[in-house]
Amino acid sequence: MLVDALDHHQLYTNLHPRFTRAFRFLCDTNVSQLAPGKQEIDGERIFAIVANQMGKPPTTALLEFHRRYIDIQYVISGPDVMGWLPLELCRRIAEPYDAERDLGFFFDRPSTWCEVPPGYFAIFFPHDAHAPLAIEQPVHKVVVKIAVKP
């Protein structure tokens, strides 16, 4: 897991060949004006999901994980509170991994909680189980999904 301001995005473009294009989308698009839902960037290789929704109590937030995609979760307004636990420490399956949705859940509790303010992003790799929207207030965000493999 990484957390930083969007202004510092250039520090992370070398982590994956598609990060440059993903961050260009976040920097060059008025994301606050996008309609909720899926936004195509580069087919299924890079796309964004815009959400404007109510968070939930941290005690009910489940850890989610993905295998095919890296998440860049950018907070437009909020903040968002996100929990984290290394995937290898997760033991209690809440919902088995669904390859079609690239999503599974664990009941395990995060070892780390991070408040991500507006203008900041968190990056979650497939080895990062994460619990976003763990705050009882509205959160407006965009999640850029980057395919791990070419």
Q: How far apart are CA 63 and CA 93, in angstroms?
A: 10
Q: How far apart are CA 107 and CA 73, in angstroms?
A: 21
Which residue is associated with the tokens 């999904």?
145
Q: Are 82 and 122 in contact (CB under 8 A)?
A: yes
- The domains of the chain, with CATH numbers, are 2-147 (2.60.120.370)
Q: Say if residue 17 is preceded by a cis peptide, omega within 30 of 0.
A: no
Please compute the mean of the pLDDT values over residues 53-69 and round it to a whole number: 97
- Whether the predicted pLDDT of 23 surpasses 90: yes
Percent of the chain with pLDDT over 90: 99
Q: In this structure, which amino acid lies at residue 95?
A: E
Structure confidence by residue, pLDDT tens digits, 70-96: 999 999 999 999 999 999 999 999 999
pLDDT range class, residue 38, cuts 50, 70, 90: very high
pLDDT of residue 109: 97
pLDDT range class, residue 115, cuts 50, 70, 90: very high
pLDDT range class, residue 12, cuts 50, 70, 90: very high
Question: Any idea of the CA torsion for 87, 134, 5, 150, to the nearest 10 degrees?
Answer: 40
Please compute the mean of the pLDDT values over residues 109-138 and round it to a whole number: 98
pLDDT range class, residue 150, cuts 50, 70, 90: confident
Longest dimension (CA), the chain: 40
